[in-house]
Amino acid sequence: MNDRQLIEFFGTLDVPEGIRAELLRGDVVMTRSPDVVHNCTVADVQDGVPRSRWRRLQRQYVEMHRETSEPVPDIVVLERGAGLDSGRLVPVEAVTMLVEVVSRASAHRDYVTKRSIYAGAGVPVYLIVDPAATACRVLTEPYGSGERADYRCQRDWRYGETLHLPVLDTGIDTREFRTVQEP
């Protein structure tokens, strides 16, 4: 099966309720529904992004043109009026920021795999929020392609600090972000 056929097949995949399926570099990755801390963190980040200027979509498929990937970030941020008004896929060119909230099962995908996928697609800002590490990482200035793609700038914040997102012209207060204790 070639890349185009795989992407077409993935688009018709019938996934059971409560399961998230993503296509990441040709692999179909399925994960179960997230826990309360994850969902509260997603809501807190979304609430920190001004709705008046930005569309904040949860668990929306993003179309990556240079990869055999269709990730489903926890939050997709795009300017109002950018992207499509309907459909399954948001074109990556319309995206300003992607957000992933880390779980024990997703840590490698969020910190490594998706980092290079998002950088290679030219996503301007990639925010990683980690409730176990009680930290946030903002990645900007994407460069490169494929597995070698990365971000030139990385800035980390601890929970309790205001997370500054100049591209969005906003700061997000992290004092009330929930934490998890990993075993």
Q: Is residue 69 in a domain?
A: yes
The predicted-structure confidence for 61-109, as pLDDT tens digits, reads as follows 999 887 888 899 999 999 998 777 778 889 999 999 999 999 888 899 9
The answer to whether the predicted template modeling score (pTM) of the entire model surpasses 0.75 is yes
* 98-24-94 Cα angle (round to 5): 35
State in Å, rounded, how far the first CA of the chain is from the last one. Answer: 40
Provide the number of structural domains found in the chain. 1
6 three-class SS: helix
CA distance 27 to 71: 11
Q: Domain containing 79 — which CATH number?
A: 3.90.1570.10
Residues in the chain: 183
Q: Is residue 116 in a domain?
A: yes
Q: Which domain holds residue 142?
A: 35-173
Q: Which amino acid belongs to residue 169?
A: D
Q: Is residue 100 in a domain?
A: yes
